[in-house]
Structures are given as C-alpha cells and as structure tokens.
Structure 1
Amino acid sequence: MTSAAIPATMAGVEEVEVVVAHRERATLRVGDVFLKIDADQELTDVEVEAMAMAPIPTPQVLWRKPPVLALAALPGKALGRLGEPSTASPAAWAAAGAAARVLHDAPLPPWPGRSVDELASHLDGECEWLVTNGVLPADVVARNRRIAEAALRPWTPVFTHGDLQITHVFVDGDEIAGVIDWSEAAQGDALFDLATLTLGHEEHLGDVLAGYGTDVDLDVIRGWWSWRSLTAARWLVEHGFDPASPGCEFDVLRSRM
C-alpha cells in the first residue's frame, strides 16, 4: 500500500502497536484504527459478512484493501484474559451471555460450520499428537477425550461466533461495547460459544447463563472445554503461544482429573 492510499484517519499517528502477530495473520493498532492483515482472504470475507449480519455490536469497517482490513477501535476493554482473573463485573459477564443469546436467536449465516464427524476426527488427530510428542501425559489426554465426547452429539445449528473467547468481547462498564474477530463465524452449536466464553473462567459460568436466560447441559459445556483445550494446543505451540501458562489450556485439562 502506498502512502497516498493510507486514509486521512491514520495521518499523524506516531505509534504502531502490534496486537497479535503470527504466521497466519497480524493485527496492528494505529491510533483508533485496527489493521488486520490475513493471509487467507476467505476468512476476511467471512468476518466482514458475519459482522454485517450480526445483531449485536461489532467494530465498524472503515475500509478494506486486501490483504488489509481496517476496523474502528471499540470503546471499553476486553472482558478478561485467559490465565488472569477478570476484573469485569458479574453484570458484564451476564451481558455477554445475553449478547450470545441474541446472536444465537438470529437468522443463520448461509455458510455451514464443521460437522460432528469433522470435529471428532480433528480431536482424534490432536490427541494422538499430544501423546506421541509427550506434550501431555496420556492419562490426562484420555480423560479429557472421554469428557469431550459429551459435546460431540447432534445439535440444532445457530448463528455462532465460533471463537467467542473473552479477549474478543469488549465491555464498557456493565454493557457490551462490541465483539471482534468474526472470521470463524458459522452455523454451529450454541454451547460451543458459551464454553469458549467461559474457558478457564468457570467461576463466571453462572453469570453468563443468567444472562443467556435458558438452561443448558453442563456436561456439554465441560465437553467443549476439554475439546477446545485439546485441539488448540498444537496450534498455540506452533504459533508462539504457551498453553502451559498458569490458568490456560493445560491447567483446564488437568483440572478434569
């Protein structure tokens, strides 16, 4: 991109913050603008379309010049971080649950998500990798593999965010300011979103469910906690993240023992 192509909203900015960077994508903050650079433009296509369809607050799309997507910064702050205590109020957690319910009640996006068979096959492959490479003890993997089976059942598809981790949910006081990173949005299981939101923060599950407003199968939530932690480990390791950090994925898996 030439300097002439850079919008005036970015002129005069003195600092560029690297929010996240790995081999697949990078996100930079330039003033009040987030620049997402993604190697897979199909994921960006999904993100833009999903945000346009979502009935909950999302970042404003400022411009797109592939491979760059420019989004306006959201007010407030993230609901929390994995491995750290959340300072957000119970009301804010409940608001996140209520927002998830609004999303799940919305019309389905036109593209499908992964099938149960695909998810089960992915789980099998990642469990084999964890054991073969000695990343986790075999008994921890086997125990969580059994727990994950509760999630791998038929469900009625809803509009899911697909990666509703707490760093993607922004709150301003007790209100939802917006939800970011929609590239994995698809038709899917509502309880996967709720499990992703509360992964490593089980103490806030009650608040989330109070906002969500309906009973859920807690065994399925626990199953998705195990599934996500098992299947995320290799990607995290290969992209420079540490699932063994306190309170993160490996601690979630060990807590099931």
Structure 2
Amino acid sequence: MDEVEVVVAHSERATLRVGDVFLKVDADQARIDAEVEAMTLVPVPTPEVLWRKPPVLAIAAVPGTVLGRLGEPSTASPAVWAAVGAAIRKLHDTPLPPRLGRAGRGRDELTAELDVECELLVTNGVLPADLVTRNREVAEAALRPWTPAFTHGDLQIVHVFVDGDEVSGIIDWSEAGPGDPLYDLATLTLGHEEHLDDVVEGYGTDVDLDVIRAWWSLRSLLAIRWLTEHGFDPTAPGCEVDVLKSRM
C-alpha cells in the first residue's frame, strides 16, 4: 500500500500525496474553482483532474522532475530554462479569462503591505535595518503600472516539471489570474539569478530586468514573516534572506 506523504501543510491548505495522486485540501472553494478553471484554459501542460469532492481536489502527478529547488543549484540545462521561458510566454499571451480569480494586488495595496512588512521586520529584529531599507529601495521599481496578463501567480521553481528539454507540467494554479507578467518571471528565477538570461531568451521579448530584480526583493520582503509563521525557513542558504543580501 502506498504511504501518505504530506507535501505541504499550513493553516490555509494542505497537499497530500498517495502514490501518483495528489490530494489538495482547501477550505476556500473559490480558490479551488480558480485552480480548476485555470488548468482548463492554459496552453501549457497541467495535472489531470481526477475528481473533486469539496474540500478535496484530486489531481494526477505530472511526468518528469522539478526544474529545481530554492536554495539548491539547478541541474537543468540552459535549453531547458529557455523552454520554460517559452512556455511562460504562451501562458502570458493567452487571453485574460473572463471570470478567473481576482486581479492581483495593485500598486497602492502592494506599497501599503510592503511598508507594513518592512517596519515589522526591523521592529521585531528579524533583519537589519540597512538590509531592509536597501531592498525596499530596490523593490520600488516593481511598483509601477503594468498591463495585466494571464499569470500563474505563484510560479515557484518547484511548480515547474521538465522531461528532457520539454516542460512536462506546471502545477499549483490556485493563484492564477490577471497579474504582472514580470512577477511570474521573477518568482521562477528567485534565488536562481544565473538562469534569468536563459529564461528571457526563451520568453522571446524584451523585459525590464530591473523590474524582475525589484520583484525578487519585494516578494522576499513580503514573504519572510509568513514563511516563518508557517514553519518554513527563509534564512536557509539560497532562500529569501540570501536573496535580499545579494542586493546589498
């Protein structure tokens, strides 16, 4: 009998694996609705939905291996990273879904949230003030108007699977919806700056690299407290705190 593996679990949702089946437990049915709808609309490989019985969504494992992991070197070739960039471009070129999800946080909302998190990081002694101040300055470049595109919304490197030189699956579409396309590119390459040029080459259009770097700082500053409170370690080598330190 297959064992039950806890893939991730926190107060918002949990994902379990039993053999080749993943069970996603989420009390927010709107989020599950968005995930299922997104997977039916996007022109990239996604997991097969096996069944759904709220609050559980059962999906099949995708073939291949993860592109890499935050804090660890990726063994994927430049060609593979370029293929991922091309797949992301297909996603961003897809017409915006009429009902899917909500628009991502706007500039004013992001600015207010960022200011709160930065103050807490310093006040609570989580990070040195100069480190927070420098990255808050870098993050400013991301706080500009953008044209919304169909985005994944949480395109972490572990959510992308590859087989050979091809993208074999992209998982976890619960945050999909209108957003800044450069946020997807930044999330994918967070902690893997050395592969950014390959991704951009595959993406096939001019992108503002300063904005991507700004999103690295912004995402890391916003994530550190949440990660810590939910049992993750943003201070692990190559993770969010190291990303912030690299901006100094």
**Above 0.5 in TM-score?**
yes
Rg: which structure is higher?
A: 1
Of 63, 68, 71, 1:80 maps to: 68
Corresponding position of 1:179 = 170
Of 43, 46, 51, 1:55 maps to: 43
- Letter of the 2:38 partner, please give it: A
Q: Distance in 2 between matches of 1:198 and 1:17?
A: 27
Corresponding position of 1:202 = 193
- Shift of the alpha carbon at 1:109? 2.2
Q: Distance in 2 between matches of 1:85 and 1:224?
A: 21
Q: Establish whether residue 27 from structure 1 lines up as the match of residue 18 from structure 2.
A: no
Of 179, 188, 194, 1:188 maps to: 179
Secondary structure at the counterpart of residue 33 of structure 2: helix
- Letter of the 2:34 partner, please give it: V
Secondary structure at the counterpart of residue 210 of structure 2: helix
Alignment TM-score, normalising by the size of structure 1 = 0.93
Q: Establish whether residue 65 from structure 1 lines up as the match of residue 53 from structure 2.
A: yes
Corresponding position of 1:138 = 129
Q: Distance in 2 between matches of 1:124 and 1:114?
A: 14
Structure 1 gap ranges (5+): 1-12
Q: Distance in 2 between matches of 1:116 and 1:197?
A: 21
Of 141, 155, 161, 1:150 maps to: 141
Q: Establish whether residue 236 from structure 1 lines up as the match of residue 227 from structure 2.
A: yes
Secondary structure at the counterpart of residue 34 of structure 1: strand
- Letter of the 1:251 partner, please give it: D
Of 202, 207, 213, 1:222 maps to: 213
Q: What is the aligned-residue RMSD (CA, Å)?
A: 0.9
Of 90, 96, 99, 1:102 maps to: 90
Secondary structure at the counterpart of residue 141 of structure 2: coil
- Shift of the alpha carbon at 1:14? 2.8
Q: Distance in 1 between matches of 2:185 and 2:111?
A: 19
Corresponding position of 1:42 = 30
- Shift of the alpha carbon at 1:43? 1.1
- Shift of the alpha carbon at 1:97? 0.4
Q: Establish whether residue 213 from structure 1 lines up as the match of residue 204 from structure 2.
A: yes
Secondary structure at the counterpart of residue 142 of structure 2: coil
Secondary structure at the counterpart of residue 134 of structure 1: coil
Corresponding position of 1:6 = none
Aligned residues: 245
Corresponding position of 2:236 = 245
Deviating above 3 A after TM superposition, structure 1's stretches of 4 or more consecutive aligned residues are none
Q: Distance in 2 between matches of 1:186 and 1:157?
A: 9
Q: Distance in 2 between matches of 1:234 and 1:224?
A: 17
Which string of whole-angstrom CA distances, capped at 9 and with x for unpartnered residues, describes residues 109-128 of structure 1? 23422211111111111111
Corresponding position of 1:7 = none
Of 108, 115, 123, 1:124 maps to: 115
- Shift of the alpha carbon at 1:144? 0.3
- Shift of the alpha carbon at 1:241? 0.2
Q: Distance in 2 between matches of 1:237 and 1:161?
A: 24
Alignment TM-score, normalising by the size of structure 2 = 0.97
- Shift of the alpha carbon at 1:132? 1.1
Corresponding position of 1:10 = none
- Shift of the alpha carbon at 1:57? 0.8
Q: Percent identity?
A: 77
Q: Distance in 2 between matches of 1:53 and 1:127?
A: 37
